[in-house]
Amino acid sequence: MSSKRPLPRGRFIPAIFAIADIALVNLLFAFVCAMFPTFAANGARELGVIVNLSLVPELWWGWRRGLHRALQLDVVARQALSDVALHALFFLAFIAVLGIDMPVRALAVFYAMMFGGLLCLRLLSRGLLKIYRRHGRGYARVVIVGANPTGERLAAELGRDAGFGYRMLGFFDDACPAGFSGHYVGTIEQLADFMRRERVHQVFYCRSTDGSGRHAAEVLRTADDVGADFLFVPQLSRYVQRGMELATVGSMTVMGVRPNPLKSLLNRGVKRAFDLVVSSAFLCVYPLIYVPVAIAIKMSSRGPVYFRQERTGYHGRTFSCLKFRTMRSSADADTRQATAGDPRVTRIGSFLRRTSIDELPQFINVWRGDMSIVGPRPHMLKHTDDYSKQIDRYMARHAVKPGITGWAQVTGFRGPTDELWKMERRVEADVWYIEHWTLLLDVKIMIRTVINALRGESNAV
């Protein structure tokens, strides 16, 4: 049996993307030359050569970096920005050495267009790639060593979106534990033959290493023999999701936990400024929404237009959360969560919930400073009291201001939490958001929220 690396289908995709980058940059350069004749007067042909030579480090770095299988706006934007900066560094160095005088305005336009063009091109190309993978092409064949909760969580992440392009072949371990829900294939001793026969591309090691590390060494040796990638997955709680940084102490490899981004005063200031700008702009047109909704609510049932409920906010402080009233008034409104088919929900209330219009008054809470546009959803005081005793790190979700929408809501954990595991997954998503915050992630969540609202939320009740 050949030990040659089992190349996945779609192995020419990085080359296609590189050609697309080269074509785009040359097209933009030609456009800038047409816009600024003095730009081309310095020798369009020579400058064109320099533009393409400056692409070499960018393309090399992109090849080393590889393709992210998840389409993340913030990741794509950071990569596009770093590629533009790398190109500019080499381009400016070339023209400085050659003594070519370049108009600053033309350079600014060129690199602004280059960033915007690369960002749009890569979002489009990565989106098409996800569609390509969803049709069973360009996938990576993977196995997991470790039939345990960590392995199950990893399998769930790998299979969360077919567009990631992972084909999960099964689990390997010393034995299949009782109650294990994954597809158990065999023992670690059977792994080598299976990987050769099935042409496995990646093996994830999710077991705790023993004192000798014998099993990990065997799996690594097997991966090397068949030309597969070996990826070690540390045994961490699902609530420990912060980015980890590898470092060395002598010959030892250690991992350090990155600090939460929103502990930075600058990041909190950026997020608050963004909230003020967006909420102020929205509140300028809010009356156009308020008037027809208020009339519909008043006609549907007796009671106020707004429903006010005390909820847990930033650092556990209580605040009054605003919503358009979607239910008939009841004595248990502050303790009883809405459920599917809840008789208290009015006809107009059902529409407001399904489209998320009932949440729009919370832009007032954002403007006041009680909430943020994006963050963990604020819970009823009773929920906070109950779940803080049952779920690890539940109170960690209050380290940032609560949001109108959040990562949990756009990843499928919106709606009633009638079972404990649903709230556990919501808390897990909230903690992940806090530990991975970026402004671009907020924008991504807002866009996905709007898309979900236009489609109609199936979990909204």
> Mind listing the pLDDT tens digit for each residue in 386-415?
898 888 778 888 999 999 999 999 988 776
pLDDT for 238: 59
DSSP character for 380? B
Q: Hey, what are 222's tokens?
A: 């097997």
Q: Poorest-confidence range of 126-140, 313-327, 399-413?
A: 126-140
Entry pTM: 0.63
CA distance 436 to 81: 19
Instruction: Answer yes or no: is pLDDT of 288 > 90.
Output: yes
pLDDT for position 111: 92
When mean pLDDT is compared across 34-38, 120-124, 246-250, 438-442, the lowest value belongs to 246-250
Gap between the Cα atoms of 197 and 169, Å rounded = 12
- Per-residue pLDDT, averaged over 46-52, amounts to 85
The radius of gyration of the chain from alpha carbons, rounded to an integer in Å, stands at 27
Provide the pLDDT for residue 7: 46
Q: How does the average pLDDT of the chain come out, rounded?
A: 83
pLDDT at 49: 87
Cα 454 to Cα 354: distance, rounded to the nearest angstrom: 9
Residue 182 tokens, joined? 């994954």
Beta pairing class for 166-172 and 140-145: parallel
In the DSSP assignment, the letter for residue 345 is B
Highest mean pLDDT among 33-37, 74-78, 197-201, 284-288: 284-288
* Assigned token pair, 300: 């549907």
CB atoms within 10 A of CB 191: 23
Angle of helix 265-300 relative to helix 347-354, nearest 10 degrees?
A: 160
In which residue are the tokens 């939320």 written? 457
| Integer CA distances (angstroms), 411 to 119, 160, 169, 452, in order | 24, 10, 25, 10
Higher-pLDDT residue of 273 and 105 is 273
Mean pLDDT lowest among 8-22, 74-88, 326-340, 383-397 = 326-340
List, in sequence order, the alpha helices (H) in 164-300: 191-198, 214-226, 265-300
Predicted confidence at residue 43, as pLDDT, reads 66
**149: confidence class by pLDDT, cuts 50, 70, 90:** confident
At residue 383, does pLDDT exceed 50? Answer: yes
Each as own residue / partner, the long-range contacts of residues 418-421 (CB below 8 Å, 24 or more positions apart, any chain) are 418/337, 418/339, 420/390, 420/391
- How many Cα neighbours within 13 Å face the side chain of 85? 6
CA distances from 34 to 28, 75, 121, 330, 369 (A): 10, 32, 22, 69, 49
Cβ contact 316:398 at 8 Å:
yes
